[in-house]
Chain A
Amino acid sequence: MSKSLREELESTFKNIQVSILEDSRMAVTAETHSVLAILRFLKDAGFDHLSLISAVDWIEDNVFELCFILTSYMQNDDEYTDRQKLHIILKTRIPREQPQVKTAIGLFPNAEPYEREIHELFGIDFEGHPRLTPLLLERDYEIPPFRKDFDTRKYVEEVFNSIPPIEIKNK
């Protein structure tokens, strides 16, 4: 099953790279403008469960890398074995200044909290997302905290260690 899917992907889209890591994992690297089309293609091919969207900060290459992980529920109950459960990791690189991607909510409505989290932790903007409000963090940071150029030790020194301890007056 994975072989024919690989051939279909390579024939339908250009500038795409498919590699089979193990028998049940496939990694697809694509360009940003074709990501939504590939997602729709995979969803029609039966991979209708978006497990995760995550992001990686490659500061040396000056890019962010977005990873979409798709799986399929059991296609056919009688013939389900372990080998038919396939994970597909779809990776794409976006430039680090002004990062902007179209949202995947139209295809997978459960992408909403993942994109919200990535927006507040990395600063990637998702166009078309209904609410990009903070999910986990409470305060504002000038650089989003998961970026590699955010200096955590300096931040801790400034914000937390500068609060004075309570002095205990002896009786």
Chain B
Amino acid sequence: MDRNQIAKWLEAPAKMANKYSLHAIYFCTGCGIIEVPPVITARWDAERFGVIPVATPRQANLFLITGYVSVKTLRPIIRTYEQMHEPKYTVGFGSCPVNGGMYWDSYNTIKHLDKYIPIDGWIAGCMPRPEAIFIAVTHLWTLIDKDMAEGYVRYRKSYRAYRRNQEMALGKLDWPPLYPVSDEPRGDEQ
């Protein structure tokens, strides 16, 4: 970790600070949350990396979506994601958010989570081991360094497409759009 390199801090303090202080919101989305308590307790210590769980989305900037996402769970996931402050990063944990995983032919789960909220990285496995979470965190650091972890920017730019997908999956949404959605098409969306 280059946490103590003063030159890099003076060059890009926002990036370095966002990297080394990833507070994950403690929202137990699915079955993969069983791998998170070993990560944050004494055996595999995540606090060395700067990662601690916080209780509210306002204080968080990392969202780990652990395990399968059923249609009912997708609503609080979207609402929590929209309440987090930018810059924010999401990691899909397990193979179920990637392509449906074990529940690929189920009538009630979401198969590709990337269509509904932007995901910066995936961790494959069912369930991944705690060391895989650390590898994911270090990969996320390299992505943040190279300006490639721009999920929240994508969300803002293509919000109409995301909202349309969310409405197709969930029916009528009972929260207002996060960014203004106008009726005439703009130039930089599809």
Query: Which residues of chain A have a CB within 8 Å of any CB of chain B?
Result: 136-139, 141, 145, 150, 152-153, 155-156, 160-161, 163-169
Contacts and interface: CB of A to CB of B under 8 A. Distances in A.
B171 interface: yes
Contacts of B154: 166, 168
Contact of B114 (A152, A153, A160, A166): A166
Contact of A160 (B111, B157, B188): B111
A154 to B, nearest CB: 10
Contact of B111 (A137, A152, A161, A167): A161
B158 A160 contact: no
B106 interface: yes
Interface of B: 71-72, 104-108, 110-112, 114-115, 118, 154, 157-158, 161-162, 165, 168-171, 188, 190
A164 B115 contact: yes
Contact of A163 (B71, B118, B157, B169): B169
Contacts of B171: 138-139
Contacts of B71: 138-139
Nearest to B154: A168
Given A138-B71, A139-B71, A139-B171, A165 B112 contact: yes
Given A138-B71, A139-B171, A163 B107 contact: no
Given A160-B110, A160-B169, A161-B111, A166 B161 contact: yes
A156 B188 CA distance: 31
Nearest to B111: A160
Given A165-B115, A168-B154, A169-B188, A153 B105 contact: yes
A163 B104 contact: no
Contact of A152 (B107, B115, B161, B162): B107
30 contacts: A136-B72, A138-B71, A138-B72, A138-B170, A139-B171, A141-B107, A145-B107, A150-B107, A152-B107, A155-B107, A156-B105, A156-B106, A156-B111, A160-B111, A160-B112, A161-B111, A163-B165, A163-B168, A164-B115, A164-B161, A164-B165, A165-B112, A166-B114, A166-B115, A166-B118, A166-B154, A166-B158, A166-B162, A169-B188, A169-B190
A161 B107 CA distance: 12
